[in-house]
Amino acid sequence: MKTAVTELLGIEYPIIQGGMAWVGEYHLAAAVSEAGGLGIIGAASAPADIVREQIRKARELTSKPIGVNVMLLNPNADEVAKVIVEEGVEVVTTGAGSPAKFMEMWKAVGVKVIPVVASVAMAKLMERAGADAVVAEGMESGGHIGSATTMTLVPQVVDAVNIPVIAAGGIADGRGFAAAFMLGAQGVQMGTRFVVAKESIVHDNYKQKVIKARDIDSEVTGMSTGHPVRQIRNKMTREYLKLEKEGATFEELEYLTLGSLRKAVMEGDVVNGTLMAGQCAGMVNKEQTCRQIIQEIIQEASALLNK
161 versus 171: smaller Cβ distance to ligand FMN: 171
In angstroms, the CA 36 to CA 305 distance is: 20
CB of 116 to ligand FMN, least distance (A): 5
Helix (H, G, I), strand (E, B) or coil at 289: coil
CB of 82 to ligand FMN, least distance (A): 19
CB of 193 to ligand FMN, least distance (A): 6
42 versus 164: smaller Cβ distance to ligand FMN: 42
Question: Do 116 and 95 touch, CB atoms closer than 8 A?
Answer: yes
Within 13 Å, how many C-alpha atoms sit on residue 250's CB side?
6
253 versus 277: smaller Cβ distance to ligand FMN: 277
- Of the chain, the end-to-end C-alpha distance in Å amounts to 16
Helix (H, G, I), strand (E, B) or coil at 14: coil
In angstroms, the CA 103 to CA 129 distance is: 8
Kindly state the greatest CA–CA separation across the chain: 53
158 versus 265: smaller Cβ distance to ligand FMN: 265
CB of 254 to ligand FMN, least distance (A): 16
Tell me which residue has its CB nearest to ligand FMN: 191
CB of 202 to ligand FMN, least distance (A): 8
Helix (H, G, I), strand (E, B) or coil at 94: strand
Q: Which of 241, 199, 280, 220 is nearest to 25 (CA)?
A: 199
102 versus 249: smaller Cβ distance to ligand FMN: 102
- Residues forming contacts to ligand FMN in the complex (CB under 6 A) are 18-21, 23, 42, 44, 69, 71, 95, 116, 137, 140-143, 168-171, 189-192, 195, 276-278, 280
Listed in sequence order, the residues at least 6 apart from 1 whose beta carbon sits closer than 8 Å to its beta carbon are 12, 13, 14, 298, 302
20 versus 158: smaller Cβ distance to ligand FMN: 20
CB of 191 to ligand FMN, least distance (A): 2
Q: Which amino acid is at 157?
A: V
The count of residues in the chain is 307
CB of 77 to ligand FMN, least distance (A): 12
248 versus 288: smaller Cβ distance to ligand FMN: 288
Question: Do 232 and 217 touch, CB atoms closer than 8 A?
Answer: yes
CB of 250 to ligand FMN, least distance (A): 20
Q: Which of 53, 12, 89, 1 is nearest to 301 (CA)?
A: 1
44 versus 84: smaller Cβ distance to ligand FMN: 44
Helix (H, G, I), strand (E, B) or coil at 93: strand
